[in-house]
Amino acid sequence: MAAPLLLCALTHAWVASCPTGSSARLAGHCQYARGGVTGLLPPQIRAHRRAVEMTVALAEEDTGKPAEARLPYVLTGLPRSTYRGTAMGWLHKTRLWYLVAVLYVVIAAILGRTAAVPLSNVQLGFRVLAAMATAANVFISDRYHNADRRLHAGRAQAYSAAAETSALAFDYLGISSVLTTQLWLWSANMNWMLMLKQVGVLSGLSTALVAVLARFVVPKKMGHVMVKATMATQFTVFLGYLAWCVLSAAPTACRVGVLIFFIYAPGLFVYALKWPKHPVFGFHEWFHLSVLLGHTSSMVFDLRNIVVPCIHFCAGVN
Ligand SMILES: [Zn+2]
């Protein structure tokens, strides 16, 4: 019962918020809203309506509670799951993640100043970049996954193909930046052993490539494929090389840090596989959970490493 009521309420709210001068696609949605459920609807709008109905029905079936009727993603028409946007929206709205990121840098700076071998400004800079990348990750995810809620809040331009393409492009750039900044941070912690400097340059170039592809090729299929292939290389080859260096050449005390790689790994693995598909907690939710745990474990292990460095640097070096 709740689903039709929610759809009805949504439709009324939608009609009320229908803007003038909005994009053709948004105008189409508003046409759907005004037409109600019995009018003749363009196929795309019908598909969107079905996706909303399906999301609500599946979510209610799974949780046994009334669910929010959410509009699907604009570019794919895929339904929005229950927790994805809510979780990222909560982290953004409460500012919790941004606070965590700032606290991490502040604590690193305090610990770094009193450490036996103080952190240099460059070393602290790697922490700032890593923290900024994780914060950007949350900020962009909220933009991408909650565009429909912004539409309901009266921001018509938030729910459009252009806005979604832009959010997706920044999402790719954010993920690639996380991979590069984590590589830089932990390569510096490993004193840039073996070929980590060269690999760090390659990862930085990969992020630049992702930026270009995201700006000029996404949302074409080729763009998605090339971006994902680049990010897969960053993770498996570059960060994999770092993990190999730690396991094969670093002091034994450093090995525990490789856990970070294996905390990020399942999320990126299921993201690439697009499996498991589940309306409430599918691969994308596992991806976000794994990535957030990866960020957190990296911060914790890094702060520990500042206090008790697993590699003993000479003062003034690096
Ligand atoms: Zn996401």
What single string gives the DSSP state of each residue in 214-279?
A: HHHTTTSHHHHHHHHHHHHHIIIIIIHHHHHHHHHHS-GGGGGGHHHHHHHHHHHHHHHHT-S--S
Q: How far is the CA of 191 from the centre of ligand 1 (A)?
A: 33
Whether the bond between 19 and the residue before it is cis, its omega within 30 degrees of 0, is no
Q: Yes or no: say if 3 and 57 are a contact pair by the CB < 8 Å rule.
A: yes
pLDDT: which is higher, 38 or 201? 201
Q: How far is the CA of 92 from the centre of ligand 1 (A)?
A: 13
Q: How far is the CA of 244 from the centre of ligand 1 (A)?
A: 29
Q: How far is the CA of 254 from the centre of ligand 1 (A)?
A: 31
pLDDT confidence of residue 50: 67
Reported as a single tens digit per residue, the pLDDT across 25-40 is 444 444 444 333 333 3
Helix, strand, coil shares of the chain, percent, nearest 5, are 75, 0, 25
Does residue 1 register a pLDDT over 50?
Answer: no
Does residue 72 register a pLDDT over 70?
Answer: yes
Q: How far is the CA of 84 from the centre of ligand 1 (A)?
A: 7
Q: How confident is the model at residue 222 (pLDDT cuts 50, 70, 90)?
A: very high
Q: How far is the CA of 118 from the centre of ligand 1 (A)?
A: 37
Q: Find the mean pLDDT for residues 226-250.
A: 97
Q: Find the mean pLDDT for residues 179-204.
A: 98
pLDDT confidence of residue 257: 96
Q: How far is the CA of 202 from the centre of ligand 1 (A)?
A: 25
Percentage of residues in the chain having pLDDT higher than 70: 79
Q: How far is the CA of 264 from the centre of ligand 1 (A)?
A: 14
Q: How far is the CA of 144 from the centre of ligand 1 (A)?
A: 7
Instruction: Report how far Cα 29 is from the mean position of its chain's Cα atoms.
Output: 27
Does residue 235 register a pLDDT over 80?
Answer: yes
Q: What are phi and psi of 213, to 5 degrees?
A: -65, -45
Q: Find the mean pLDDT for residues 256-271.
A: 96
Q: Find the mean pLDDT for residues 4-30.
A: 41
CA–CA distances in Å: residue 218 to residues 78, 122, 180, 198:
18, 34, 21, 28
Q: How far is the CA of 54 from the centre of ligand 1 (A)?
A: 20
| DSSP per position, 168-219 | HHHHHHHHHHHHHHHHHHHHHHTTT-TTHHHHHHHHHHHHHHHHHHHHHTTT
pLDDT confidence of residue 301: 98
Q: Yes or no: say if 281 and 59 are a contact pair by the CB < 8 Å rule.
A: no
Nearest to residue 86, comparing CAs of 66, 70, 74? 70
Q: How far is the CA of 139 from the centre of ligand 1 (A)?
A: 11
Q: Find the mean pLDDT for residues 199-206.
A: 98
Write down the mean pLDDT value for the chain: 84
Reported as a single tens digit per residue, the pLDDT across 110-137 is 999 999 889 999 999 999 999 999 999 9
Does residue 98 register a pLDDT over 90?
Answer: yes
pLDDT confidence of residue 157: 85
pLDDT confidence of residue 61: 76
Q: How far is the CA of 226 from the centre of ligand 1 (A)?
A: 18
Q: How far is the CA of 223 from the centre of ligand 1 (A)?
A: 17
